[in-house]
């Protein structure tokens, strides 16, 4: 195949040859990662009716998925380690030989009538010792264009890989081969045959049947968390489902914070927070909103990077009041999935603005206010480059020292607004006991309380008990560990109202954390942890009564 003749990595070239013979694509293309390549793919998708250009947003396109392919499918995600004990009860284990044999049958001829795209990508800055390279084979142009936004992708990665560099092999197909003359679907997928399988000993990921999000963008949850968590366990670092942000006080002192929340619990909003009135002299900067790779440094501190280059954010609820920086980030050169389309050529979702008189909803149907159904899917997404984020930290590609780690979740009751752990061991215990109310980001019952240690239950690639022990072992190596906190922005009162205003006002919580990190305010010691005093909490400019504060900070119901 001429498309791979220029590859210098013989093992990779041979793998691509072997896979192509098995997959039987009609064409093969090694991705360069250029804007011209992406533009051509997107134009081709528009011509086939699989994408819609958004006239009011330069370089932006809308996709509508199959209604059966709208979220992560944890029930069909497996870790195929040599033994079930390695995967742990938190993962669905699959026998590697049996799963590989089954999936090989599924992949046989799966790309007939389609192009096989070779997508070389790097998680983390190219050439950094913190980074890892993957090569994804896929038959989805949507995946190619998304991976270009979310990772460092293309020819430069192949150059860094050289002739013998190591990589994670990622094989993906939508599982819908095309016979000659067969008309394609507007969202190719095979929801009756979905499987995402990780083979840690083989450095291999297989994904079949889904074209959506973390099921198909294999650098994200698959490599970025499940496989990377295993690498971290073996090599002495942590791969975490965390945002990364910088907080600078009015005197110019800056700290970096990593925070773990389950999906759709406000990570993106917090990572891009704009200071509210009364706190404009504080500065918040964004390094990432979803994944942090954290390494112990020689100085006894923890250092973190965001291995991604984009945001795959939940659209509903994102608006000018909740996250203006996100709106500016996706104003151009972005992809939208399962949002609504306005009559004048823009995207719309619940929370963006007052609903127009008429929309075309996420399934392509007419929609009017009061029709009885939402215009967008609850897990509708925007995919936007981090380089377009107005709050992007100037050092976003560098390892930054962590002063604080925050664990948070969506809890209507029991958990106070903020609590500081007594020490590292207690902080790990807080993270290990994290529970959150289920959201629409994954399959399951929305609202149901689910235990989610460190917000990593769906993403840890090995046994959770070993993962918790790994956290404790990392702590023992640190001369200067970050302080650990627990937060809950979603506590409700007696009338089912949120007790805390959230969004930009969450900077007040971060400011208290910042002040605790730098020893600037006292805290009330309790058996459960260290709590802020009402008088010391940064509430200036926000009318908030002692009575409401006591209800917000009450431990337990």
Q: pTM of the full predicted structure?
A: 0.96
Question: 313-388, what's its fold?
Answer: Phosphoenolpyruvate Carboxykinase; domain 2 (2.170.8)
b/e sequence 91-126, b meaning 16+ C-beta within 10 Å? bbbbebeebbebbeebbeebbbbbbbbbbbbbbbbe
Q: Which stretches of the chain score pLDDT less than 50?
A: none
DSSP letter for 183, please.
P
239-306+396-553 matches 313-388 in fold: no
What would the pLDDT profile of 52-73 be if each residue is shown by its tens digit? 999 999 999 999 999 999 998 9
540 burial via Cβ count (<10 Å: 0-12, 13-18, 19+): exposed
pLDDT at position 448: 82
Could you tell me how far CA 337 lies from the centroid of its own chain? 15
* Topology of the domain comprising 2-30+71-235: Phosphoenolpyruvate Carboxykinase; domain 1 (3.40.449)
CB 25 within 8 A of CB 139: yes
pLDDT at position 1: 59
Q: Where are the domains of the chain?
A: 2-30+71-235, 239-306+396-553, 313-388
Please tell me the predicted confidence (pLDDT) of residue 350. 98
330 is catalytic: no
- Predicted pLDDT of residue 442: 55
Q: What is the DSSP string of 368-416?
A: -TTSSS-SS-TT-EEEEEGGG-TTB-TTTTS-EEEEEEEEE---SSS--
For residue 295, list its beta bridge partners.
Answer: 303
In CATH terms, 239-306+396-553 corresponds, of 3.40.50.800, 1.10.3720.10, 3.40.1010.10, 3.90.228.20, to: 3.90.228.20
Cβ pair 20, 116 in contact under 8 A: yes
The two tokens of residue 481 are: 């560990």
Q: Catalytic residue, from 122, 145, 265, 330: name it.
A: 265
């Amino acid at each position: 195949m001429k498309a791979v003749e220029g590859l210098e990595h013989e093992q990779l070239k041979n793998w691509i040859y072997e896979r192509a013979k098995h997959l039987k694509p009609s064409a093969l293309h090694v991705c360069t990662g250029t804007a011209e390549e992406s533009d051509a793919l997107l134009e081709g998708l528009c011509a086939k009716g699989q994408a819609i250009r958004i006239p009011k947003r330069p370089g932006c396109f809308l996709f509508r998925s199959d209604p059966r392919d709208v979220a992560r499918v944890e029930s069909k995600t497996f870790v195929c380690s040599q033994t079930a004990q390695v995967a742990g009860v938190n993962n669905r284990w699959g026998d590697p030989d049996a799963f590989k044999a089954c999936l090989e049958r599924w992949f046989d001829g799966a790309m007939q009538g389609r192009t096989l795209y070779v997508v070389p990508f790097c998680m983390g800055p190219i050439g950094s010792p913190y980074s890892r390279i993957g090569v994804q084979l896929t038959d989805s142009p949507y995946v190619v264009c998304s991976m270009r936004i979310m990772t460092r992708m293309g020819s430069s990665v192949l150059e860094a890989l050289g002739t013998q560099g190591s990589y994670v092999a990622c094989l993906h197909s939508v599982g819908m081969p095309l016979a000659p003359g067969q008309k394609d679907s507007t969202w190719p997928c095979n929801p009756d045959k979905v499987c995402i399988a990780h083979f840690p000993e083989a450095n291999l990921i297989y994904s079949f049947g889904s074209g959506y999000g973390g099921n198909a963008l294999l650098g994200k949850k698959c490599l970025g968390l499940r496989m990377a968590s295993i690498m971290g366990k073996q090599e002495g670092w942590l791969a975490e489902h965390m945002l990364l942000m910088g907080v600078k006080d009015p005197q110019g002192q800056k700290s970096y914070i990593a925070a773990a929340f389950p999906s759709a619990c406000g990570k993106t909003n917090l990572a891009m927070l704009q200071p509210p009135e009364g706190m404009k002299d504080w500065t918040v900067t964004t390094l990432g909103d979803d994944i942090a790779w954290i390494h112990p440094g020689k100085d006894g501190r923890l250092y973190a990077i965001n291995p991604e280059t984009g945001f795959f954010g939940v659209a509903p609820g994102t608006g000018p009041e909740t996250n203006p920086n996100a709106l500016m980030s996706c104003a151009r050169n972005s992809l939208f999935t399962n949002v609504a389309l306005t009559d004048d050529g823009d995207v719309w979702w619940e929370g963006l603005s007052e609903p127009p008189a008429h929309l075309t909803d996420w399934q392509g149907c007419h929609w009017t206010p009061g029709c009885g159904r939402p215009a967008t899917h609850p897990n509708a997404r925007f995919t936007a480059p981090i380089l377009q984020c107005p709050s992007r930290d100037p050092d976003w590609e560098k390892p930054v020292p962590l002063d604080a780690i925050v664990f948070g979740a969506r809890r209507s009751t029991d958990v106070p607004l903020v609590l500081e752990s007594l020490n590292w061991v207690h902080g790990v215990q807080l993270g290990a006991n994290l529970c959150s109310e289920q959201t629409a980001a994954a399959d399951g019952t929305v609202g149901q309380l689910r235990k989610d240690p460190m917000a990593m239950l769906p993403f840890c690639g090995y046994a959770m008990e070993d993962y918790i022990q790994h956290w404790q072992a990392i702590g023992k190596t640190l001369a200067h560990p970050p302080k650990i906190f627990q937060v809950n922005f979603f506590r409700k009162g007696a009338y089912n109202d949120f007790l805390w205003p959230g969004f930009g006002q969450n900077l007040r919580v971060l400011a208290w954390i910042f002040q605790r990190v730098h020893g600037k305010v006292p805290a009330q010691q309790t058996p459960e942890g260290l709590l802020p005093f009402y008088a010391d909490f940064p509430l200036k400019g926000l009318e908030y009564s002692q009575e409401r504060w006591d209800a917000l900070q009450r431990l337990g119901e």
